[in-house]
Structure 1
């Protein structure tokens, strides 16, 4: 692989990651394949133009967010949602973007992406766009607050995981011929 192209594919500027529904078959499991991640920089203009409009718009707003937050290597949908509401005074609905339809479409598209197994706790952070959130449990367990410090730690853990897992994934796609350069 060409070193510049390889660097762009293997070490993208950021990843876009979103939570999938937590499994209903085993709602009490601690870990589940409940997240999907793509590297938007690997999506060509041609591919972007072929996406359903909601998915294209969602990725477009995610790109704007990423440009305004250049140090953030993993961007969650909830990060973009929080930013739209708190900083931009906007919402997906007001922008005419059906984010649920967009998220349903992305894993089905021919994009470089992968499913991830995540913890229930990480999932709670990923789906939460609130500035402050308190979790209430049944069965006598005490409630607790999801902190921004923990949210930041979860982001960093995903960066480390993707820095380790994404390069071999891309290289295996090239070796198998499922990804061609040129």
Structure 2
């Protein structure tokens, strides 16, 4: 076995207390060796935490034992925190929930911020994530079942639903305008773009299903 495994460059200790007792070492309940953990074998959030640990240790090469609290303080000194890096899922979700309360959806632009928190970037990471837990997916679904859609498409689809709700139709001239409170919407133009994207195989399964459902509903109404 190589020295890299037997004697890693440094250890990362979690601040986990022992169930009982007053041992001064209770914060060393669990320790990892980031240098020997294959990053492709862990989730993206964990890989990011390990990357922060590597960056910290590179600035402090004599440290053989690094506490997780050290990383938190180091990030703060660099104008960042775990939430901004996306590794604090519940923290990011709280901001997404606040955005939903204000706007009624999670079609958040990637550059959007809420109280200086990059909630748009956090939401973009959730759309691309492949390792969300069932509980995390359920929490996002409760807020917005369309959260996996790209924000621009999500918002345009919602505008189409609003247009149909006030008497608009799927058929008609491409240059027709929206109704009600959204006269600048061009439903015909948007639908033509979707037809083209479908032909070119650029729509996701979810987008195709949503558009097909609208067509079936219209046929039922008129049929």
Q: Larger relative CO (CA 8 A, sep 6+): 1 or 2?
A: 1
Same fold (TM > 0.5): no
- From the CA coordinates, give the structure whose radius of gyration is larger: 2
Task: Kindly indicate which of the two structures has a greater share of residues assigned to strand.
Answer: 1
